[in-house]
Amino acid sequence: MDQGTIYGDRSAPSDIDDDFVLTAASQLRRQTILLYSGFALSISGVIAIADPSSSAVFGLLVPLAILGSALAGLYILLRYRPDRMDPLAGRKFLGRITRLTITIVALGSLWCLESWFATPPEIRIYYPLMMALGGYATGYCLAPLRKTAIACVVIPFLPNALLLISSGRKMDVIAGCTMLLAGAFQLMLIANHSKMLREMLSHRSQARQLARVDSLTGLINRGAFLDEITERGAKAGMKRLLVIDIDNFKAINDTYGHDMGDQVLRQIGQILSRYATADICASRLGGEEFALFGPVDRIPEGIALKILSEIRNTAMAHKEQVTVSIGIAEGDVICEKSWRALYARADAELYAAKNAGRNQISSGAALAEANRTQTSTKNEIAA
């Protein structure tokens, strides 16, 4: 279903598309069950008291079509389970409800127009009033879908109001003008409801995003990182985890103050953010500890050397060199237990790198050659 059909305009933020679909579908289900029940009951009464002299089309076939559409809508609504619906299914649901409701409203408006001309003047006022009440109820129920709700107000209100005004009878004219004013008021309420719903979902999306981000570095925080591990780990293939810890960070805070320490954390966060992609997740786990996680083929072991070199050669805010130690582990992440095991191995390698003199990486024998290169580089710097 086209997104413009759902929102009624294309200005809605794309980051709330799925939330909007599921929220609108949940609201519509609660509200339109009663609406469609009302349609079914009222049109059943119309069929029961239909004038035998009325035409077969408008006296029986059109009401039966409305009744069938209402019953079909109830069937769809009762089958829909918001807690089991994904956004794609939600879009299909909204599309069906939109088409059925507009069909019911259009048929009902035609039926009222025909009844107006076929009914004695002293009682025909009831038909426009019935459509006005139906339009009010329908517009309210479908208010989350702005474009559809507007159509469900305009279709019954406008032609019936014009009929009343064109009759020339004073009370009919007053009733028609009142109907137009009421319709305009309803349209304003629909626009406000749609706007407030989008704003609410946008604020909720922003709050959810802020809850996932480390405010100091801009990387995702530990909780969001664990969520990413769960999602990415479910995909087949070996994963690699780099745990990165700033060497002697306490000394930076003690010597230069915590504000300077925060500046250093920001700079390292900026460096690591450049390695984050759709496949690689970068996070600040807490304190001076960071992490990279992703498929083995997307995080080659050479990345650890690049990170080590880039951080070491970056001019930091306190004008001193900063180094890090990196522990690397790899394995399948299919459950929380396997993640904990992977993190424990990477953490153990991190401490091995620390104990070996810091400013290096450790992942066991697999990176022995890389560590020898690092040791040689360190010796050159010292010389």
Q: pLDDT grade, residue 6 (50/70/90)?
A: very low
Q: pLDDT-based confidence at 118, cuts 50/70/90? A: confident
Range of the domain at 252: 222-382
User: What pLDDT score does 122 carry?
Assistant: 77
- For 169-214, write each residue's pLDDT tens digit: 898 899 899 989 988 999 999 989 888 888 888 888 777 777 788 9
pLDDT at 377: 45
| Mean per-residue pLDDT of the chain | 84
Region 13-17: mean pLDDT is 65
Q: So what's the pLDDT on residue 181? A: 92
Give the pLDDT mean for 346-363.
93
- The kind and range of the H/E element at 233 are helix 222-233
Least confident range of 94-103, 247-256, 325-334, 367-376: 367-376
pLDDT > 90: what percent of the chain?
Answer: 32
Question: Residue 121 has what pLDDT?
Answer: 78
Is 228 found in the same domain as 204?
no
Q: Are 193 and 253 within one domain?
A: no
Residue 319 located in a structural domain: yes
CA 276 to CA 213: how far, in whole Å?
Answer: 14
52 shares its domain with 144: yes
Q: Are residues 73 and 132 in the same domain?
A: yes
Whether residues 165 and 308 fall in one domain: no
Q: Please tell me whether residues 204 and 245 are part of one structural domain.
A: no
pLDDT over 90 (residue 17): no
**Same domain (yes/no): 326, 369:** yes
pLDDT of 324: 96
φ, ψ (nearest 5 deg) of residue 282? -115, 135
pTM to 2 decimals? 0.60
Give catalytic residues, as residue numbers.
288
In the DSSP assignment, the letter for residue 359 is S
CA 64 to each of CA 30, 39, 49, 75: distance values in angstroms, whole numbers, following the listed order = 25, 11, 13, 16
Per-residue confidence (pLDDT) for residue 227, from 0 to 100: 83
Task: Please state the separation of Cα 108 from the chain's center in Å.
Answer: 35
How far is it, in rounded angstroms, from Cα 175 to Cα 291? 69
Question: Which of 8-22, 124-138, 175-189, 228-242 shows the lowest mean pLDDT across its residues?
Answer: 8-22
Residue 367 confidence (pLDDT): 43
The CATH number covering residue 340 comes to 3.30.70.270
How far is 276 from 291, CA to CA, in rounded Å? 11
Q: Which amino acid is at 50?
A: A
Q: What's the average model confidence in pLDDT over 350-367? A: 83
Least confident window among 55-69, 295-309, 317-331: 55-69
State whether 348 and 257 are in the same domain: yes
Q: Under 8 Å CB-to-CB from 48, ≥6 apart: which residues?
A: none
**Is the confidence at residue 84, as pLDDT, over 70?**
yes
Residue 217 lies in a domain: no
Q: Which of 29-38, 162-171, 260-269 has the highest mean pLDDT?
A: 260-269
Domain end among 164, 188, 212: 212
DSSP letter, residue 311 = H
What pLDDT was estimated at residue 134? 86
Mean pLDDT of 358-373: 63
Pairing of strands 324-331, 239-246: antiparallel
| pLDDT above 50: residue 27 | yes
Q: Are residues 269 and 169 in the same domain?
A: no
Domain's final residue, options 183, 212, 241: 212
Cα gap 202→12, rounded to integer Å: 9
CB 201 within 8 A of CB 252: no
Q: Is the pLDDT of residue 167 over 80?
A: yes
Of 50 and 239, more confident? 239
Kindly state whether residue 347 falls inside one of the protein's structural domains. Answer: yes
Query: Average pLDDT of 366-376?
Result: 46
- In this structure, the answer to whether residues 154 and 228 fall within a common structural domain is no
Q: How far apart are CA 151 and CA 198, in angstroms?
A: 20
Q: Among the three residues 151, 182, 212, which one is the final residue of a domain in this structure?
A: 212
Q: What are phi and psi of 333, to 5 degrees?
A: -125, 90
| Residue 181 backbone dihedrals phi, psi, to 5 degrees | -65, -45
> 365 pLDDT exceeds 60?
no
Tens of pLDDT along 235-269?
767 899 999 999 999 999 999 999 999 999 999 99
Question: Does the structure show a pLDDT above 80 at 361?
Answer: yes
pLDDT at 21 over 80: yes
- Indicate if the pLDDT at residue 368 is higher than 60: no
* Total number of domains in the chain: 2
Task: Please indicate, yes or no, if residue 242 is contained in any of the structural domains.
Answer: yes
Q: What is the 3-state secondary structure (H, E, C) of 106-167?
A: HHHHHHHHHHHHHCCCCCCCHHHHHHHHHHHHHHHHCCCCHHHHHHHHHHHHHHHHHHHHHC
